[in-house]
Amino acid sequence: MNMRHEEGIDVSVLDGILDGVLEDLAQRQSEVPLRELQARAADIPPTMDPLPKFREPGVSIIAEVKRKSPSKGALADITDPAGLASEYALGGASAISVLTEQRRFGGSLADLAAVRKAVDIPVLRKDFIVTPYQLWEARVWGADLALLMVVSLPGGQLRDLLGLATEIGLTALVEAHTEDELSRAVDAGAELIGVNARDLTTLNVDRTVLKRLVPQIPEGRVRVAESGVSGPADVADYHQWGADVVLVGEALVRSGDPRSSVGEFIRQATTR
């Protein structure tokens, strides 16, 4: 993290999040060593591949279990993440995203495990993953996908973690926000590429980032739009601009009717 400051990049928001993530990670590692995690993984059922569904015509929705965020604060009092995930699935979601970062997002690995038991569609662990240990955690606690953010993985870390994810059966959602980050994601061989409208160094949102970057994603890769969705029209825009998949969190947890909302997001995006 200090390396980024030396490069003159202002990543104060991201650094603060990562500092907390690493502190919490150290505690978990002291309680469950890596070798124990790896042993547990041997007994876990095979993961589900989300890519065939994501490649189907129309738009796929990754619906998110999200209690709060650094930019918006508290979003929803989610006492039953499994129940919420089930409603998403019944509404037509192609996958469920579960925030597992505790300090800024109010999530946990227990949420991930609960959701995994409740649905029969792929589940994404969304967190600030910067170590192999976190990928093994994702596998053991039931994830089929794991988020890798290019901005937090300098040097060869991205390629190394992407390789490990593939090796242990996880599909990596590799997230970029800039042209340089996208180039690194493509060069690393990512099949599932997310374009985040939110700049994690400032938390500012620019929805047109997807429109600018999509043409640079090679044919055959699956394109995911992230952040900046307040309603069905935003999903429709993202799909029109080239997104195969849209990840939606805040707009769904605040909707009051998550099942119907997922269906409406899909309907408007495919009928515009």
Checking if the pLDDT of 245 tops 50, the result is yes
DSSP character at residue 50 = -
Q: What percent of the chain lies above the pLDDT cut of 70?
A: 93
CA 213 to chain centre: 18
Is 168 in contact with 136 (CB distance < 8 Å)?
yes
Is 138 in contact with 116 (CB distance < 8 Å)?
no
Tell me the pLDDT band of 272, cut-offs 50, 70 and 90. low
Residue 196 designated active-site: yes
Tell me the pLDDT band of 6, cut-offs 50, 70 and 90. very low
End-to-end CA distance of the chain: 43
Give the range of the structural domain holding residue 181, as residue numbers without chain letter: 4-271
DSSP character at residue 62 = E
Give pLDDT, residue 79. 81
Q: Which two tokens stand for residue 164?
A: 């490990």
For 147-160, what is the mean pLDDT?
Answer: 95
State whether residue 74 is helix, strand or coil: strand
48-104 residue pLDDT tens: 999 999 999 999 999 999 887 766 677 776 789 999 999 999 999 999 999 999 888
Tell me the pLDDT band of 201, cut-offs 50, 70 and 90. confident
Residue 126 designated active-site: yes
Q: Which of 66, 68, 69, 97 is catalytic?
A: 66
Q: Which of 175, 211, 250, 261 is catalytic?
A: 175
The count of structural domains within the chain is 1
Q: How far is CA 80 from CA 19, 71, 76, 250, in A?
A: 28, 23, 11, 16
Give pLDDT, residue 12. 59
Q: Which of 69, 87, 126, 152 is catalytic?
A: 126
For 192-203, what is the mean pLDDT?
Answer: 90
Q: Which of 137, 181, 226, 250 is catalytic?
A: 226
Checking if the pLDDT of 9 tops 50, the result is no
Q: Which of 94, 97, 196, 261 is catalytic?
A: 196
Residue 53 designated active-site: no
Residue 137 designated active-site: no
Checking if the pLDDT of 1 tops 70, the result is no
Checking if the pLDDT of 7 tops 80, the result is no
**Rounded-to-integer distance, Cα 217 and Cα 88, Å:** 28
Q: Which of 68, 227, 250, 261 is catalytic?
A: 227
| More confident: 232 or 68 | 232
What CATH number does the domain containing 171 carry? 3.20.20.70
